[in-house]
């Protein structure tokens, strides 16, 4: 484990003064439970701390980078930058799964599970913060991931099925706003129809989309609407 710990520290560009903090950040509850509760601490408490460290880092960055954005839009961006999918991707980029201490039940596929990777990444940040005593050190590590993810959102290069979800999250932050989709055109034979859908927010047309199914057309309409909300 000592060699693994050294390799991970080289990979993230930080060497822990107290390596036991790093080991704890890598220890899943399944491993701790198998080795006796109380004898080995899992990463759950560090995950709790790391979640707050990450949230503050991202909120601070968004607040200062986009002074013109309203609270609702900032909230939506933050949610998408620190969601399970995003954090699992951050963890994968540093190969974090390979260093985890897992119980026998999780060894088969646990190193690739988004939930486990998400928790471990947050725990790593919590351990780093405690060891360094500096939020700025953690911030320097996290922000490159955040900026790249933000660029993806800004360029609307999400999986097609994610656009409606992201737009819905935005609208939910604005009390009184109503989101709906309306089919405005159907063309072609029954076995090869093309649908055109528009997305309406409080009866205002925010974009249209075309697809071989209503679902696909709605996703494309949502993608068009998001261009009005996400920072460019």
Please give the positions annotated as active site: 51, 122
Answer left, alpha or beta for residue 37, where phi above 0 means left and psi between -120 and 50 means alpha: beta
Instruction: Name, in order, each residue with C-beta under 8 angstroms of 16's C-beta and a sequence gap of 6 or more.
Output: 9, 22, 127, 128, 131
81 neighbors 149 (Cβ within 8 angstroms): yes
* Residues β-bridged to residue 186: 195
Instruction: Name, in order, each residue with C-beta under 8 angstroms of 58's C-beta and a sequence gap of 6 or more.
Output: 78, 81, 82, 142, 146
Q: In what order do the strands lie in the sheet with 204-211?
A: 179-187, 194-201, 204-211
């Amino acid at each position: 484990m000592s060699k693994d710990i050294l390799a991970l520290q080289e990979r993230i560009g930080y060497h822990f003064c107290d390596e036991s903090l790093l080991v704890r950040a890598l220890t899943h509850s399944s491993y701790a439970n198998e080795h006796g509760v109380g004898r080995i601490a899992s990463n759950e408490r560090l995950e709790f701390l790391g979640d707050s460290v990450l949230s503050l880092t991202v909120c601070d960055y968004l607040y200062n980078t986009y002074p013109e954005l309203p609270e609702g839009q900032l909230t939506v961006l933050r949610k998408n930058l620190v969601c399970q999918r995003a954090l699992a991707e951050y963890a994968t980029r540093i190969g974090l799964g390979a260093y985890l201490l897992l119980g026998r039940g999780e060894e088969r596929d646990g190193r690739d599970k988004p939930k486990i990777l998400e928790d471990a990444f947050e725990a790593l940040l919590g351990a780093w913060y405690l060891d360094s005593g500096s939020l700025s050190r953690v911030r320097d590590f996290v922000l490159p991931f955040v900026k790249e993810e933000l660029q993806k959102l800004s360029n609307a290069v999400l999986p097609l099925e994610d656009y409606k979800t992201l737009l819905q999250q935005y609208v939910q932050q604005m009390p009184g706003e109503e989101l709906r989709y309306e089919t405005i055109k159907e063309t072609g034979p029954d076995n090869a129809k093309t649908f055109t859908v528009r997305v309406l927010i409080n009866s205002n047309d925010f974009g249209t989309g075309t697809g071989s199914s209503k679902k696909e057309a709605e996703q494309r309409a949502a993608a068009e609407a998001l261009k009005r909300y996400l920072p460019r």
